[in-house]
Structure 1
Amino acid sequence: MKIATYNVNGVNGRLPVLLRWLNETAPDVACLQELKAPQEKFPEQAIADAGYEAIWHGQKSWNGVAILSRIGKPVEICRVLPGDAEDMHSRYIEAMVNGITIGCLYLPNGNPAPGLKYDYKLNWFERLHQHAKQLLAKGTPVVLTGDYNVMPTEMDVYKPESWKDDALFRPEVREAFKNLVDQGWTDAIRKLYPNEKIYTFWDYFRNAFARNAGLRIDHFLLSPQLDGRLKAGGVDKDVRGWEKSSDHAPVWIQLAD
Structure 2
Amino acid sequence: MTSRHAEVIATIADALHDAPGVRALFLSGSHGNGLADAYSDIDFVMVAADGPSDAVARLWRDAVARTGEIVLLWDRNVRPALINAITADWTRTDVVIVKPDQVGAQAQDSLKPLFDHDGIFERLPETSPQAGIDPARLRYQIEEFIRIVGLLHLGIGRKEYLNGVLGLFHLRNLLVDLLIAETDAPNRGGVLHLNRLITDEQKKLLYSLPPPVPERDALIAAHLAYAEA
Specify which structure has the higher proportion of helix: 2
Report TM bin, short chain. Answer: under 0.3
Bigger CA radius of gyration: 2
TM-score, scaled relative to structure 1: 0.26
Specify which structure has the higher proportion of strand: 1
